[in-house]
Structure 1
Amino acid sequence: MTVLAGDMLARQAIVTDSDLQIASPGLTVRAGQNSNQLNYALRGQSLDAFSDTRPGVLPYFNEIQLDGVGGGSSAFYDLQSVQVLKGPQGTLFGRNSTGGAVLFTSVRPSDAFGGYVSGRLGNYNSRQIEGAINVPIMADKVMARVAGFYEKRDGYQENRFQNNRAGNVDRYGLRGSLTVNVTNQIKNELVVDYLHSDGNSLSGLINSLDPSGAVPLILLTNFGNQPQYNFLINAFTGGAAGCNSTTNNCAAAFAAANPKLDPGGVASYLNTQNARGPYVIETDGENKYKGRNLIISNITTFELTPDTKLRNIFGYTNIEANSTGDIDGTAFGIDSNGPNGGKNDTTKQYSEELQLGGKAFAGKLNYVIGGFYSHETNVDLTTSLLLQFPPLTSTTRYHKLTTRDMYAGYGQGTFDLSNATGIQGLSATLGARFTHEKIKFDVLPDDTAYQAPPARQAIFNFNQQKSYSNVSWTLGLEEQVNSNLMIYVASRRSYKNGGYNGIQDPVPGPGSTGGDGYGQETLTDAEVGLKYHGRVGDMPTQFNLAVYQNWIMQGQRVAYVLLGSTPAAVTVNVPKSKVSGFELDGTIRPAKWLSIGGSLNYTNAQFTDGRVSINGNPVLFATYPDTPKWSGSVFAELQAPIHASVTASLRGDLYSQSSFYFSSTANNNTGAKINGYSLANFRLGIEDSNAGWSLAANLKNAFNRVYYVGGIATGELFQFNTVVPGAPRTFLIEARFKF
């Protein structure tokens, strides 16, 4: 577990998910098609783009699990803490997950009047303002807090084809919290959080070629070679296009209609793009982003006895994300989300959770038992405008409704074995969870599947459903060796249930036979570790070490292939995988004015049996995605008193990670790889703790390194891959006042 308290979030200037990656050892925040399509990855558990599977790492906001795609968790403002939990979860709270959870907790109302306001200005015309006010309405009985923020920034990329910028940010959020102490034993906490996002996305850009890909786009985009281009158009249309060099020269007509395009095609254009770097691009697809989050968390706590509490946790989420963008990262009109809907996800979820927790057997047993129910609907509309080389142009429109109903019961207890064994501080943990989930999958009337020929539709099933039941568990032994040192060993099992991939035709059956379904994934782990919090000599010191291994059966992964003549992202179950590694982090204070620390993470992830057949064609999954083998960080922070309550501070952070693949089949697509990189961040601040004011200057990516944070590996399909760049050098000047 990594815990980042609110003051630490401010000191490290953590205002985005990417900042969280640098501050949390082992966490990877991975982009897909663009900068607004993000997912968390821990210990090899991630989410393949266009797979329609559950994330391996789940976000929570005030104990409410979020499942929206692209809507995010919440803005990074007025937070009490962010916790990153690693490994399988589900026997203590919420929904089960295989990789971990990221818990966002907002500041709750208190019985003192106060608050803060802050403003930030930076390059790329960045402006941010946020604040909160806390009001005790009825002393010790009714307390309210209102917080909000607004952020606007120009995009990092210049799109010369459309004469605009990509990556623009324009968003605001408002959060209201009300705590009512009904009696000394009954408390109700209500939080309503709204986030509105506008702008557009940093675009992926072409970065490598794979000439062996199924669709010959290297040649098809090379319209400067007229005989070759005419031949290919005729081949695609069975001669119906009638392209020739005199009466119907398709290559010449295409060149006249597209004077800005490189006649050498994507192969020539790749050299141009590489030479100018990722912040100057040429893409033709419409680029817009709009997101709306409404999250309601209501928690009622009943103190039944001093050692027993009953909690009811009700949640409602309505998360919408709409984006249009260019998928191929060029101006050649190969693949974009198109002008007729783009990619839209609307997820609504109601959840109800009842927990009983406390102590028993004279305090020897700490326990929690609970029940969890959620009803979730997701409407996904994904459109693609493909191959805009007349007369090849086509549009696909996948429009699906997925409904999930989950019932679960769970319990976990930790029992003190000191007296029974004579080993002081020894305890055992046992937890289990039973989950039953029903998944319904309905194809909506405007889906392109309804336009298929009758013979094709005859094999479709427009309304599918299936159910899963499983038991997750956790076992562990912990020994509190002394007040400073704890050692532990644990093993856990968890599941990701199966489902349906909405961007395929609704052919019943698994992806391996050309169907749209995929099965359950199972993860079992073993972990040993230690936690130390004490002193080395006279220096306050804390460090954590964990060594683990995961065994994954039937992992849910995606392959980009042709199904017949249709490009598709097919979700399949890969038989066996193994992930092992270690995580080390710590801090030490050699002097009152100096803190230093860092982290080191090693992850060895591999498919131990990656052989899958898709429609009779063998596919080998051999490169484990989204998992740098090495990552780590170091920091130093100096604090110096200036006068009375005035303190100056200087902090420097260096983060580094090794290369990683963003495709499970990069063995057949060697360009689907992101090089390692290192980033340096600095913060200079001054604060008056009595007067409540502070000033700070934040510099991120100080040496303006070019790096990439994800991509789409379509090389095996379209003969090229795209990558999404990280942020260039940015600075922010911040003024904050607490009252």
Structure 2
Amino acid sequence: MKKSKNSKQLRKLIWTTVPFCLFPAASFAQAAEEAPKKVEAPTKVAAAKAAESDTGVAVVTVTAQRRSESVQKVPLSISALTGDQLKNANVTTVDRLEQLMPGVRMGRSGSDLRPAMRGTYTENVAANGDPRFGIYVDDIYQSRTSQVPPIVDLARVEVQKGPQGTLYGRNSFGGNIVFHSAQPKDYFEGGVDTMIGNNGQKRLEGFVNVPINETVALRLAGLVEKSDGYVKNIGTGGDLGSEDQKFIRGTLRIAPSSMPGLEVLLRASYLDLGGQGLGGFGYKFLGTLIDPSLIRAPGQSLTYNGATYAFPNGFNGNSWTGVGMPYDARYRDGIADVNGADVGIPTLADPYTVNFAGDAFRKGSQQQYGATINLDVGNVRLRSITGYSDFDIIRTAGSLTPVLLNYSYGGTTSKTFTQELQILSNNSASPLQWIAGAYYFDDTNRDLSVTNQNRSYVTATAPAGQQYYPFDFNQMPSGAGFNQTFAWDGFSTQEQNTRSLAAYGQLSYTFFDKLTLTSGVRHTSDKKELKTSRFNASPTGPGAYLVHGINDPIDYTCGGFIAANPASVSATPTDKAYNFVCGSNTEKYISHRQAVDYKFDRDHMVYASYSTGTHAGGFNSGPVTIAGVPTLLSFAPEKVTAIEFGTKNAFLNNRLTLNAAVFRNDYRDLQAQTSIPNPNAPLTSVIALVQNIGKDRAYGLDLDAVFRPTKTFRANLSYNWLDAKEIDYAVNTFNYGGAAGLCGVTPSCIPATGEANAVQGTPFPNPRTDPNRFIPVVDAQGMPVVTGGVPQYRYVIAGVGRDGTRYTGPKAFSPKHTLQIGLAHDFSLGNAGTLTPEIQTYYNSGYILTDLTPNFGKNDAYTKTDLRLTYRTADHKITVQAFVNNVEDEAIITRAVYSSHRSLLANYAPGRTYGITAGYRF
């Protein structure tokens, strides 16, 4: 059969593209939209775009150095996507950016975004923590990772890799994720887009741009979206993962003709967030660490690394060095699971199926306001950036068991005000470019957690198969008729107030139009105050019980008591249940950046940079009593030093761009949970706290390329290699020497050996069975700390063992290899328009889920492919697209966290999604 001319051309182009697969690529970036300075008819705009598409690869204009520049001219590693690319790839959530942006992992737990990049990731999202990445919306810093607004009518998204502590500052420790909404233009335009997909997804979004007069333009954008849950609940509760959100944003641009140097941008947005969501931190138990060879029936003994233990009540095999087995070990059900032992409640293998009682819901809202003022005075620009955000959300979850043992509410509120003032050079022809600025940040975050116990549940009277008992070191329940009722509902709350002041400056000078030297510095002063609740008084009397509710009034004052709900049953109904303990401190630190770049010509440059970054310190939320006074102990900021060498190039008359970068990031003073001598009794006891004891390092290679040999064919490829390791990390151990602990159930336990110290809740290994990785906790004089005759230890995940052995460990969410390949071709249909098939595939070599247990719950290597077929009319007014995302239907874990008894709780990204979109532009 005769081949068409287009078919022959396509095969030729594919074969000529193959060699470039060795130089994998960045996002294929199109030109960013900016507010025009004069009136342009839509036909002229369309003609300009058509002409531009003939010139090869169009490059995004970014603001990584707080001024508009071509991404190919900035001596930084940056990935950028335009609004058109986001729309074309169905990027409706931030999570999907990793499919298109090289070297970025977009983890998520519930409503909280947890990005990972270059060997670091966001861990603590509570009120007393700060993100490790700066998230900016229209140049305004977002203090919580849950505050990222929907992706609607954006001009572009930038991911700036590595620390950006000089020009951005606030917690830009691992990099920045920057969102820019489309600005008002001085001509009329608008559009509407609809989407219908599986899981009952229905999405409607649109925008309209109205020039009110010659100096004022208004742009409105909005969204309505609903979907069913993609996690099937076969229990009595509802499905999980449903979406119900509404969003609107308005932007007003004022550019008076009488003052040509003045531009004012006023923004306001509102988000209403509903649906069930995925709870707080995870919805699926993967299992727990079990070594089947260690399981013993009642009366049997166990010899482990030369130490022999007798277990009168048996042992379920729980071990730090065990393997993950599909059981939720928080509760036992009295049914033998492995080797005759009751290991826990069996979990379901399907990542998108759970068996839970109780419905969950999510309810949140966010208001954001911003004002950006630019005033050009000669060769100088003055800029003011003001932002205010008011965010609140409540997330709920049951006990994540087939029987509703309890029901939890998690509430988060955040109110943030920011003000930034800049003065910068505004003459692009000058060899000297400079910027100076001042920044003010005022932030109040509150977290509230309430767990209501199901007091009507009694184990002894529950149906067979639903008789749940809390786990202990015994193999089987030790008391018939155990009642699940507790003496009080769970309750905790904290409020953190942060006020930060910073001043910064950066200047660059270009010699001979080729060599540019850059130097910048930033000084920051953070003042933090944390108020955290502490249990104060137990209920007394027969049947006494303290009740709490998510809507009960709370007086956030230092030392003030928090009353229990009037529904409490107590001998003294006016009992106060909690009071606040407070801490306050100020941290000052400096970040800086030095860089040099050399431009051989307009298409080729090389650069090198040395930069530092800081992630803010804070307070431990658990009070420690010192000299009879409840006290909150602080931890210091984390630090990173980054070195990067790179090159950016355009070839073949700008039809191929090829960029490469090598980097090394050294992280120190990392905040990690460990044990320290108790300030009250440094020789006899320890306390577990977050302290600055960690050290990591990461180095890697980024290769990015975009190839556009003709205006109808596009290819993008990228490859990222990352070697990220823990260098020093010794976690705290727990003393389980009491009646319910290891030494309480086996008479052969010898406390003086330290074996009562368990690693993260597992009895094996311990200092007696594996002494090399247990290092003694010592006081200020270097003497070992002994508590109740038991020496205290830390367990070395990474670092130096007692015999001098050096241990290292991989970093969580840091795949060794990632590869992205995209191909698209526009087939002309003449006057009827174009038809464009596209493929975008992403390979990930796999990653561990937690730094603590690298072999448990590892997300294995996977490939995820998107397919789409797009029809566009010749005038580009109508677009219809059919798409399939994640063709392979891979279940990918985006976040994992340990629950009690080392049961691992995880979140999965949605599996295969598909649907149809239709858009109209006018």
TM-score (structure 2 length as normaliser): 0.67
Pair 1:319-2:384 in alignment: no
**For residues 443-494 of structure 1, what are the alpha-carbon distances to aligned partners after superposition, in whole Å with 9 as ceiling and x for unaligned?**
35xx53566999xx9xx98111111001100001001111111110001011
Pair 1:372-2:439 in alignment: yes
8 A Cα contact 1:130 1:148, kept in partner = yes
Between the aligned partners of 1:156 and 1:190, the Cα distance in structure 2 is: 38
8 A Cα contact 2:884 2:912, kept in partner = yes
Aligned to 2:906, which of 698, 723, 734?
Answer: 723
**For residues 171-195 of structure 1, what are the alpha-carbon distances to aligned partners after superposition, in whole Å with 9 as ceiling and x for unaligned?**
0100011011142121110111211
Query: After the TM superposition, which residues 611-630 of structure 1 pair with which residues of structure 2 at under 5 Å, given as runs?
Result: 611-613=730-732, 616-622=792-798, 623=809, 624-630=811-817
1:702 is matched with 887
1:735 is matched with 918
Deviation at 1:330, TM superposition (A): 3.9
Pair 1:92-2:156 in alignment: no
Aligned to 1:408, which of 486, 502, 522?
Answer: 502
Aligned to 1:347, which of 400, 405, 414?
Answer: 414
3-state DSSP of counterpart to 1:20: helix
Between the aligned partners of 2:710 and 2:636, the Cα distance in structure 1 is: 55
Query: After the TM superposition, which residues 467-486 of structure 1 pair with which residues of structure 2 at under 5 Å, given as runs?
Result: 467-486=586-605
Between the aligned partners of 1:255 and 1:671, the Cα distance in structure 2 is: 23
Structure 1 residues 662 and 285: alpha-carbon distance in aligned structure 2, compared to 1, 3 A threshold = farther
Pair 1:142-2:327 in alignment: no
1:609 is matched with 728
Pair 1:77-2:155 in alignment: no
Between the aligned partners of 1:158 and 1:125, the Cα distance in structure 2 is: 13
1:551 is matched with 666
Structure 1 residues 385 and 602: alpha-carbon distance in aligned structure 2, compared to 1, 3 A threshold = farther
Pair 1:297-2:297 in alignment: no
Letter in 1 for 2:246: Y
2:96 is matched with 19
Deviation at 1:160, TM superposition (A): 1.1
Deviation at 1:689, TM superposition (A): 4.5
1:227 is matched with none
**For residues 35-77 of structure 1, what are the alpha-carbon distances to aligned partners after superposition, in whole Å with 9 as ceiling and x for unaligned?**
423211111221225664321112111111001253x311011
Pair 1:633-2:820 in alignment: yes
Letter in 2 for 1:710: R
Structure 1 stretch displaced more, 654-663 or 151-160: 654-663
8 A Cα contact 1:385 1:393, kept in partner = no
8 A Cα contact 2:162 2:175, kept in partner = yes
Aligned to 1:683, which of 865, 868, 879?
Answer: 868
Deviation at 1:286, TM superposition (A): 4.7
Between the aligned partners of 1:689 and 1:326, the Cα distance in structure 2 is: 53
Aligned to 2:262, which of 164, 186, 189?
Answer: 186
Between the aligned partners of 1:689 and 1:62, the Cα distance in structure 2 is: 33
8 A Cα contact 1:320 1:344, kept in partner = yes
8 A Cα contact 2:112 2:125, kept in partner = no
Letter in 2 for 1:406: S
Structure 1 residues 660 and 393: alpha-carbon distance in aligned structure 2, compared to 1, 3 A threshold = farther
Deviation at 1:381, TM superposition (A): 1.0
Pair 1:437-2:624 in alignment: no
8 A Cα contact 2:675 2:794, kept in partner = no
Structure 1 stretch displaced more, 652-661 or 125-134: 652-661
Deviation at 1:730, TM superposition (A): 1.0
Between the aligned partners of 1:514 and 1:607, the Cα distance in structure 2 is: 31
Between the aligned partners of 2:451 and 2:689, the Cα distance in structure 1 is: 16
1:223 is matched with none
The alignment-based identity, stated in percent, is 23
Between the aligned partners of 2:531 and 2:291, the Cα distance in structure 1 is: 36
1:654 is matched with 841
1:5 is matched with 82
3-state DSSP of counterpart to 2:254: strand
Aligned to 1:56, which of 132, 139, 143?
Answer: 132
Aligned residues: 665
Query: After the TM superposition, which residues 326-345 of structure 1 pair with which residues of structure 2 at under 5 Å, given as runs?
Result: 326=398, 329-331=400-402, 338-339=407-408, 342-345=409-412
**For residues 138-159 of structure 1, what are the alpha-carbon distances to aligned partners after superposition, in whole Å with 9 as ceiling and x for unaligned?**
12x1110111011100011111
Letter in 2 for 1:331: P
Between the aligned partners of 1:132 and 1:569, the Cα distance in structure 2 is: 52
8 A Cα contact 2:129 2:618, kept in partner = yes
Structure 1 residues 674 and 3: alpha-carbon distance in aligned structure 2, compared to 1, 3 A threshold = same
Structure number with bigger Rg: 2
Deviation at 1:211, TM superposition (A): 3.6
Pair 1:282-2:355 in alignment: yes
Aligned to 2:535, which of 440, 448, 464?
Answer: 448
2:105 is matched with 28
1:226 is matched with none
Between the aligned partners of 1:190 and 1:42, the Cα distance in structure 2 is: 32
Deviation at 1:266, TM superposition (A): 5.6
Between the aligned partners of 1:467 and 1:415, the Cα distance in structure 2 is: 35
Between the aligned partners of 1:344 and 1:68, the Cα distance in structure 2 is: 13
Structure 1 residues 607 and 188: alpha-carbon distance in aligned structure 2, compared to 1, 3 A threshold = same
Structure 1 residues 498 and 93: alpha-carbon distance in aligned structure 2, compared to 1, 3 A threshold = closer
2:73 is matched with none
Letter in 1 for 2:656: T
Structure 1 residues 315 and 635: alpha-carbon distance in aligned structure 2, compared to 1, 3 A threshold = same
8 A Cα contact 1:652 1:682, kept in partner = yes
Deviation at 1:417, TM superposition (A): 2.1
Deviation at 1:605, TM superposition (A): 1.1
1:495 is matched with 614
Letter in 2 for 1:145: R
Structure 1 stretch displaced more, 392-401 or 176-185: 392-401
8 A Cα contact 1:321 1:346, kept in partner = yes
8 A Cα contact 2:674 2:794, kept in partner = no
Deviation at 1:375, TM superposition (A): 0.5
Deviation at 1:707, TM superposition (A): 2.5
Structure 1 residues 569 and 187: alpha-carbon distance in aligned structure 2, compared to 1, 3 A threshold = farther
Structure 1 residues 673 and 620: alpha-carbon distance in aligned structure 2, compared to 1, 3 A threshold = farther
Deviation at 1:332, TM superposition (A): 6.3
Structure 1 stretch displaced more, 360-369 or 517-526: 360-369
8 A Cα contact 1:90 1:410, kept in partner = no
Letter in 2 for 1:284: A
3-state DSSP of counterpart to 2:170: coil
2:115 is matched with 40
Query: After the TM superposition, which residues 536-575 of structure 1 pair with which residues of structure 2 at under 5 Å, given as runs?
Result: 540-558=655-673, 571-575=690-694
Pair 1:198-2:270 in alignment: no
Deviation at 1:164, TM superposition (A): 2.0
8 A Cα contact 1:625 1:664, kept in partner = yes
The gaps in structure 1 that reach 5 residues or longer are 220-229, 233-253, 419-423
Between the aligned partners of 2:844 and 2:600, the Cα distance in structure 1 is: 34
8 A Cα contact 2:95 2:108, kept in partner = no
Letter in 1 for 2:444: T
TM-score (structure 1 length as normaliser): 0.83
The gaps in structure 2 that reach 5 residues or longer are 1-77, 299-311, 315-331, 454-467, 471-481, 541-558, 560-575, 679-686, 734-776, 778-791, 799-808
Letter in 1 for 2:233: N
